[in-house]
Structure 1
Amino acid sequence: MTGPDSGVPAPVDSPTPPEGVIRTHPGRRAEPARELPETFLGRSEHLLEALPDPTYVVDVDLSTRPAGYRVVWVSSSLAQMTGYSVAELRDSAPELVTAHGRVRTALREALAAGLPVSVVRSVPRKDGTSYRATVSFSPLGPGAGGWGRWLVTVRDATEELASAVLAEERAAAEERAQRGLSLVARVSDILADVDSATALVEISALLERRIVPWAAFYADGTQLQKVTDLAGISYHRRDLRRQARVREVPDPVVGLFLDTRMQTVVVDPREPVDEGTLTGELLALVAQDDSAPDDGPLWLLPVLGRKAVLAVLAVRPPDLEADESALPAGELTTVLELVARRVGMAMDNLQLYDREHRLAETLQRAMLPEQSHVEGVDVWSYYAPSSEHAQVGGDWYDVLDMGEGRVGVVVGDVVGHDVEAAAAMGQLRSVVRAYAAEFVEPGKVLGRVDRLVAGMRIARPASFVYATLHPRPGGETWDVAYSRAGHLPIVHVSGGRATQLEGANGPLVGFGGRPRHTGHAVVRPGDVLVFYTDGLVERRDRSMRDGVAALVSAAEHIDAPDAAGIGEELLQQLADAPEDDIAVVVLRVPDPASDPTHTWSGPRERRWQMPMDPKTIARARHAVLRACEAWDIADTAAAELVASELVANAVMHGWGRVDLRLRDTGDGLRIEVEDANPSPPVVREGRVGRVGGFGLHIISRLAEWGWRPTPAGKVVWARVRAKEAWAQRPAEE
């Protein structure tokens, strides 16, 4: 007699083994039973009928193959469960529980060893249906004719197995939820590093490792492009609303950018798409991505900011039917939406901070004066805000061309790093300029400023130094007159020795209450005056006194022949890690008798901050000539013309201020011009009668050039080689 089911052995402690699985109970091995009298069942039937599960008693003969089975007794509850009569079950009961294959072998071995054993299988009913049952064999001892007698219990396992399936489903759901939560938590950890330029790359890689085959972020600027930085695209974006109004063809990606709801748009690359649409641009970018799968639909989710869609998250979903480990579609969409929302908020916060940062910097730079070009003296100025604050502070400088060879220099510091400090700085700058034009003596200027500031009730205390420089009769020496309102002393460098002009000091601005004094010093050709704020010299690990001493020592050993070179080396030695705003003005009296063959030992780099003014173009040419003279570069015509064109483009098409940087590369000169307009330079076609449009063509003939974006705008650079190096350049350049 054989049954229809088969399976594999299961562990003893398995609560719900699958159908056909054998389960033995070695810990319950029966002791040898004594010989039972034939009247045993008759006296015990009422006890067996009282058992909670349907049962029957069977004698088993294992000496034959197949084994012999003989039913001795059947409970009425088994008859009710199966629909068979007791008489029918006496003939068919063995077939209800026997098995074939490996299960039959395992069952035979367990019965031969006298061990209790269980098998899970389907038990048929008379009406053709069946139910899952756990059939257990328990030894009762020897039966008639030497056969083994066993008590067989047929326990309905439908509810137990259903509970096990439900438990497995719950465990799987919990595991999927845990996967999703851990992924979202990891995304939050990545986004915590807002300075990371590769945050979106890391998030895409995380999604690909955990839940999807491929993912990437795209944003729209002047064109749609893949983005890896949380800052997104800094320059201007296209007017997608106008594009949506003009086009009659539906564009899913444009709709995704314009609709500020979280949604999932499915795009099939196999369907025809208009190449002029944003959807066509996206599909073309995905097709160019070597890491993207070749076929299958794309899921697109908006990366939402507070008021706009900042980017699009594109993913290739897994094959949900083939991949058993994949999240169901609903759960996958939920996880992707959570990721897109977190990325959107992080991008929005970063862009909001960046806008505030730029606004603060623009305000600060707008309130700073533009250095005037002064004939007869070499002046270099520099300002850098503290990186720890919102780039708003109270440091300022001013260089005044007062006519008749007289130069005025102001450097000051208002306490604080906020808009109030910047406003106080702007007021003081205007007041000082007004009185400097009226009074010659610096002490009188500071005295008038004291009285006016006391009436204006400026809430922030401030320090500053004001000095005038003019040639003495005969022109061989210059006179320096100065007065200080609690400010650091001017450093005077003459003949390789640096001293501090410590006289004429008084209380902070607004706290004078008594006449201010004026100090005097004599300056000779070649001498240098250094004006500065405390950001140049003070550090957490260095006192103000030690910082000023370091400045004096550095100034004594600088042998640069121009003010820009002196300032550059001071910054490199003292301002490598500034903790406060820095304002520096270096003034050098030219020395016509200086040795033109003098070799400078300092860094061969220069930088200038210039206004957006046509006069800046001439200043830039003058700066290049002075730097080339200091570096003993004879062939300056090409460098002068290239710098002039770069600065002219910045003045005409940029905004903010112009930053000019020069560096001697050994085989030529590298020129960099930065402005706040992030739009890239465009090579225009030159035509007869057209004004402009030839600048980049000229630069291309004289130098190698390029550009790169910056957090504040863009840098356009050019490398002008020496004639010998240009002739020997590699062909691929």
Structure 2
Amino acid sequence: MSAGLQAETVRRQAPAAVLMVDLTTRQVVHVNGVATELAPGVTLPVHLDEWSDAASLRDLDGAELSETSHPLSRVARDEPVLGQAVSAARRSALGERREPLWVVALPLVDAPVLHDHALVVLIPLVEAAIDSLPSDLAAVADDAVGLAAAGLEASDLGGDLRDRALGATALAFTVADALDPEQPLLWVNSAFTATTGYGRDEVLGRNCRFLQGPETDPVSRGHLRDAIDRGVSASITLLNYRKDGSEFWNQVDLSPVRDAEGRVAHFVGIQTDVTVRVEAELEARRALAAEQEARADAEATRTRLSFLVEAVNRLSGTLDVAECADRLLGLVVPYLADWALLVHDDLSGAPASTVKGRHRDQRRQGEVDALAAVLPRALLDGGVADVLLGESQVRIIGGLDSTDSLEERAGYLSDLSVTDLTRALGGREALLVALPGRSTNRDVLILVRTGERKAFDDTDTTTALDLGRRAGLILDNAALYQAQARIAEVLQRSLLPELQPVAGVDAAARYQANERGAEVGGDFYELLDLGEAGLAIAVGDVTGHDILAAAAMGHLKGLLRAAAHERHQRPAAVLEHVDHLMLGLGMPTLATAVFAHVAPLADGWRLTWSSAGHPPLIVRDADGSVTALDVHHNDQLLGLAETARTQHSVDLGRGATVLAYTDGLMERRGEIFDVGLGRLVDLVTSGPDDAEELCDHLIAGTADGPRDDDTALLVVRLP
């Protein structure tokens, strides 16, 4: 094992025991705290053998050192100990255990004041290193044996052998005078000079502070100074500088050595160049910090993506613009902001049409609502206008909580009441985010943070931008859907107006679009008051389920109304005239329809009808009997060709009810016509007499599944 590698086997977490031995009396005269722990209760000075027995030192074979030629005896004979493994007893509440130690000892023959003393250091060892002690120490030991055999005294060994012994451990030793206020160095070994580059003549008599430099940690330096002042042991790693100015990390184990009077007489320093270890630790820390940062970034990205996924799911769960806006505000508060405003502008030049707000503290929601209520046009003249016009996707406004003059604040909020409300809410910084739709920005999200929260950073801005793009499209889709629904509703209401009251007649009608299409279609109904001539009833179904079908239906309905006023007493003639007009006008439309005329009789009514491929009328007499009128005489659909059509008549009593409807009320996918018709007849039989109530009864009774077709029905109860 190399000398450098040997240093790595020393367990530096545990401090070394240091003894000072008077060679003239062979007594231990000074010890540090760790040595006192090894041999508790021993009063100094004490003979080496007595101290060894008190510390229960043994060799690797388990024999008491006092019974062998042990290293402490060799120290007493002025011989250096060049490194030897021993063990000492460590006592605790759990009992006694043996701890391996590495002994280094040498006479201090050239140290002022200490020339008749020897330094003994017992260093804790890593257990795994006991069986692999360094071969270079053995070589040094051989040198010592050879010199002894040549008749040389230990004092004649000089500094070379001693320094080779200590240098082989890669540890630098120093002895400082603790009685001098400056604690000057009295002695250093060659490992110290090799490590620092300073010669003995340059360091003896000086305090070790000359190793410190501009980057030496003042806190570590303070800990070392404090230990010296208090006369206690210390183990500190700090940055030192060699003579050539190069840096190295120096682990300093400082031990006070007390004299017979209990005074700290000397400080023994064990210094180790741990640059490789410290740099490895620093690199490991940097790698750990980088890993933690990467993990934090990954976690932040995961959290951000999870937030965006949740946002899209929640916002896409409704097609109502107001509900979508509420959900958006609920998402960003408090995740991105302490309170927020959603500003909508129709870009017509008028003030913002809607401003909604949300605060994380429900107790302050009223303040946000007040701000939203008074938000002036001046806000749109500032940063919000830029975002709405597409000049900026994100804009950060700072200083919302400032007390600057109104003129200095005019760039973002130019109304004093607004700025006062903003400041009262604690607004410090606002992030304005565009919510772009398909063609333009109509919505801006204003995210506000108070002084209790950190400012917006790049991650917040990126998240807000991503959310803005997604939310803008979702809001735009919801607005588009609502606009289409509104158009469909207005169109359908215009085409299917409320029934005009007819004296003595109880009538009601319903329209329902299919559940998979727009709220508009090609089904229609009509009830015409013909005065003394009676009533006209019509119902029809233009092919298709969209706005084109509705437009064609409106055209067809106008033709039917015109023909009915001229030819109502002959329903077949009405449908024939409609055929003629459709073909003459080139209408690319097909439709089913039934037109019926109800003429008064002395004791009832005569119902005359003609059908163009339409489901049959259903009649319920006053006695409750229900009949589906003949379905075997249906003529062809309207719009195919001009042809002679048939008509049929039936007399009804007073109080009879006539039901006209389209096939969406009775047909179900995969079901034959007669089954659906039979179900509808049963519903009419069991239904109430009132026309409105009967309509609701029929709609409810056929709502057991999704409607694949539009539905129109007209109920007329004759007096």
Residue of structure 1 in register with 2:535 after alignment = 407
Q: Distance in 2 between matches of 1:130 and 1:587?
A: 108
Residue of structure 2 in register with 1:509 after alignment = 638
| TM-score, length-scaled by structure 1 | 0.57
Q: Distance in 2 between matches of 1:94 and 1:223?
A: 76
1:128–1:42 distance in 2 versus 1, CA, 3 Å: closer
For the residue of structure 1 that corresponds to 2:533, the secondary structure is coil
The structural deviation recorded for 1:512 is: 6.2
Residue of structure 2 in register with 1:431 after alignment = 559
Residue of structure 2 in register with 1:263 after alignment = 394
Residue of structure 1 in register with 2:523 after alignment = 395
Residue of structure 2 in register with 1:181 after alignment = 305
For the residue of structure 2 that corresponds to 1:496, the secondary structure is coil
Residue of structure 1 in register with 2:369 after alignment = none
Write out aligned runs for 1:337-376 (5 A): 337-368=465-496, 371-376=499-504
Q: Distance in 2 between matches of 1:533 and 1:448?
A: 22
Alignment deviations for residues 536-577 of structure 1 (CA, whole Å, 9 cap, x no partner): 22344865533332321222223334x223223323333476
1:282–1:405 distance in 2 versus 1, CA, 3 Å: farther
The structural deviation recorded for 1:477 is: 1.1
The structural deviation recorded for 1:163 is: 5.8
Asked whether the 8 Å contact 1:442–1:468 carries over to 2, the reply is: yes
Deviates more, 1:484-493 or 1:538-547: 538-547
Q: Distance in 2 between matches of 1:446 and 1:283?
A: 69
Is the aligned partner of 1:420 residue 2:562? no
The structural deviation recorded for 1:582 is: 1.7
Write out aligned runs for 1:518-557 (5 A): 518-540=647-669, 544-557=673-686
Residue of structure 1 in register with 2:616 after alignment = 489
Q: Distance in 2 between matches of 1:402 and 1:92?
A: 122
Is the aligned partner of 1:57 residue 2:57? no
Asked whether the 8 Å contact 1:293–1:316 carries over to 2, the reply is: no
The structural deviation recorded for 1:265 is: 4.5
Question: Which AA in structure 2 matches 1:226?
Answer: K
Q: Distance in 2 between matches of 1:456 and 1:399?
A: 25
1:565–1:268 distance in 2 versus 1, CA, 3 Å: same
Q: Distance in 2 between matches of 1:257 and 1:127?
A: 67
Is the aligned partner of 1:461 residue 2:581? no
The structural deviation recorded for 1:26 is: 6.2
Pick from 203, 221, 226: which aligns with 2:356?
Answer: 226
1:296–1:327 distance in 2 versus 1, CA, 3 Å: closer
For the residue of structure 2 that corresponds to 1:427, the secondary structure is helix
Pick from 446, 453, 464: which aligns with 1:314?
Answer: 446
Alignment deviations for residues 263-288 of structure 1 (CA, whole Å, 9 cap, x no partner): 32526155476999995889769959
Is the aligned partner of 1:157 residue 2:279? yes
Deviates more, 1:147-156 or 1:519-528: 147-156
Is the aligned partner of 1:193 residue 2:317? yes
Residue of structure 2 in register with 1:31 after alignment = 131
The structural deviation recorded for 1:410 is: 1.2
The structural deviation recorded for 1:466 is: 0.9
Pick from 60, 71, 74: which aligns with 2:191?
Answer: 74
Question: Which AA in structure 2 matches 1:487?
Answer: H
Asked whether the 8 Å contact 1:208–1:215 carries over to 2, the reply is: yes
Q: 5+ residue gaps in structure 1?
A: 1-7, 11-23, 105-111, 113-118, 138-146, 229-236, 591-733
Deviates more, 1:276-285 or 1:28-37: 276-285
Asked whether the 8 Å contact 2:667–2:676 carries over to 1, the reply is: yes
Question: Which AA in structure 2 matches 1:492?
Answer: V
Residue of structure 2 in register with 1:674 after alignment = none
For the residue of structure 2 that corresponds to 1:430, the secondary structure is helix
Alignment deviations for residues 90-135 of structure 1 (CA, whole Å, 9 cap, x no partner): 995998899799999xxxxxxx9xxxxxx99431226898957486
Asked whether the 8 Å contact 1:536–1:578 carries over to 2, the reply is: no
Alignment deviations for residues 464-498 of structure 1 (CA, whole Å, 9 cap, x no partner): 111111112x2x21100111111111110111111
Write out aligned runs for 1:642-721 (5 A): none
Aligned-residue sequence identity (percent) comes to 26
Is the aligned partner of 1:122 residue 2:252? no
The structural deviation recorded for 1:419 is: 3.1
Question: Which AA in structure 1 matches 2:191?
Answer: V
1:32–1:253 distance in 2 versus 1, CA, 3 Å: closer
Q: Distance in 2 between matches of 1:371 and 1:316?
A: 53
The structural deviation recorded for 1:456 is: 5.2
Question: Which AA in structure 2 matches 1:57?
Answer: L
Deviates more, 1:521-530 or 1:294-303: 294-303
Question: Which AA in structure 2 matches 1:183?
Answer: F
The structural deviation recorded for 1:394 is: 1.1
Q: Distance in 2 between matches of 1:548 and 1:89?
A: 116
Asked whether the 8 Å contact 2:427–2:449 carries over to 1, the reply is: no
Is the aligned partner of 1:213 residue 2:342? no
Question: Which AA in structure 2 matches 1:157?
Answer: E
| TM-score, length-scaled by structure 2 | 0.58
Asked whether the 8 Å contact 1:58–1:73 carries over to 2, the reply is: yes
Q: Distance in 2 between matches of 1:204 and 1:178?
A: 21
Q: Distance in 2 between matches of 1:129 and 1:371?
A: 104
1:208–1:226 distance in 2 versus 1, CA, 3 Å: closer
Q: Distance in 2 between matches of 1:288 and 1:511?
A: 69
For the residue of structure 2 that corresponds to 1:74, the secondary structure is helix
Q: Distance in 1 between matches of 2:162 and 2:477?
A: 82
The structural deviation recorded for 1:415 is: 1.9
The structural deviation recorded for 1:403 is: 3.9
Pick from 671, 677, 687: which aligns with 1:558?
Answer: 687
Q: Distance in 1 between matches of 2:131 and 2:336?
A: 56
Question: Which AA in structure 1 matches 2:307?
Answer: L
Asked whether the 8 Å contact 2:413–2:419 carries over to 1, the reply is: no
Asked whether the 8 Å contact 2:338–2:449 carries over to 1, the reply is: yes
Q: 5+ residue gaps in structure 2?
A: 1-11, 15-123, 145-158, 226-232, 254-267, 346-350, 359-371
1:250–1:538 distance in 2 versus 1, CA, 3 Å: closer
Deviates more, 1:351-360 or 1:158-167: 158-167
Write out aligned runs for 1:376-391 (5 A): 376-391=504-519
The structural deviation recorded for 1:299 is: 3.7
Alignment deviations for residues 336-377 of structure 1 (CA, whole Å, 9 cap, x no partner): 232233222211121122222322333344344664443443
Q: Distance in 1 between matches of 2:610 and 2:594?
A: 6
1:376–1:194 distance in 2 versus 1, CA, 3 Å: closer
1:471–1:517 distance in 2 versus 1, CA, 3 Å: same
Q: Distance in 2 between matches of 1:132 and 1:208?
A: 53
Pick from 581, 588, 592: which aligns with 2:717?
Answer: 588
For the residue of structure 1 that corresponds to 2:460, the secondary structure is helix
Asked whether the 8 Å contact 2:250–2:272 carries over to 1, the reply is: no
Q: Distance in 2 between matches of 1:426 and 1:524?
A: 34
1:277–1:170 distance in 2 versus 1, CA, 3 Å: closer
Alignment deviations for residues 222-256 of structure 1 (CA, whole Å, 9 cap, x no partner): 7654268xxxxxxxx99x99x56xx9x97555665
Alignment RMSD, CA only?
A: 5.3
Question: Which AA in structure 1 matches 2:356?
Answer: K
Task: Tell me which structure has the larger Cα radius of gyration.
Answer: 2
Q: Distance in 2 between matches of 1:71 and 1:152?
A: 15
Q: Distance in 2 between matches of 1:411 and 1:282?
A: 63
Number of aligned residue pairs: 518
Alignment deviations for residues 576-621 of structure 1 (CA, whole Å, 9 cap, x no partner): 766232211111112xxxxxxxxxxxxxxxxxxxxxxxxxxxxxxx
Residue of structure 1 in register with 2:53 after alignment = none
For the residue of structure 2 that corresponds to 1:466, the secondary structure is strand
Asked whether the 8 Å contact 2:534–2:600 carries over to 1, the reply is: yes
For the residue of structure 2 that corresponds to 1:413, the secondary structure is strand
Asked whether the 8 Å contact 1:380–1:567 carries over to 2, the reply is: yes
Alignment deviations for residues 66-98 of structure 1 (CA, whole Å, 9 cap, x no partner): 9x9986443888447xxx558757995998899
1:204–1:368 distance in 2 versus 1, CA, 3 Å: closer
For the residue of structure 2 that corresponds to 1:296, the secondary structure is strand
